Amino acid sequence: MQAWYRVRTLASLGTAMAEIRRNAGLNQDDAAALAHASRPTMSRLERGAPSSTAVIIDLLASTGYEVLLVPRGSRVTIKEPS
């Protein structure tokens, strides 16, 4: 499991979401169910298309991730959970 992902574009968000889903052992149908969305919605998200914030937050939460917003250029220390 990757500890963190830097996301600055929809494309990089999609790439991160696909990797998080695969690392959780989920297919797009399973991930869609967890995020209260459809499989086509998951596919569009992973391709970098605009998606509902609720879908993104639900999928991240169900796979053990959360969103942290920091000013660009900030230095952030990330400690992996023990």
Return the pLDDT at 3: 74
Return the pLDDT at 1: 62
Percentage of residues of the chain with pLDDT beyond 90: 70
DSSP string computed for 5-18: ----SHHHHHHHHH
Return the pLDDT at 78: 82
Q: Which domain holds residue 37?
A: 1-82
* CA proximity to 11, closest of 60, 59, 52, 44: 44
Domain count, the chain: 1
User: Could you report the per-residue pLDDT of 44-74, keeping only the tens digit for each?
Assistant: 999 999 999 999 999 999 998 999 888 988 8
Q: What is the CATH number of the domain that holds 13?
A: 1.10.260.40
Q: Long-range contacts: 35-44, Cβ < 8 Å, 24+? A: 35/59, 35/62
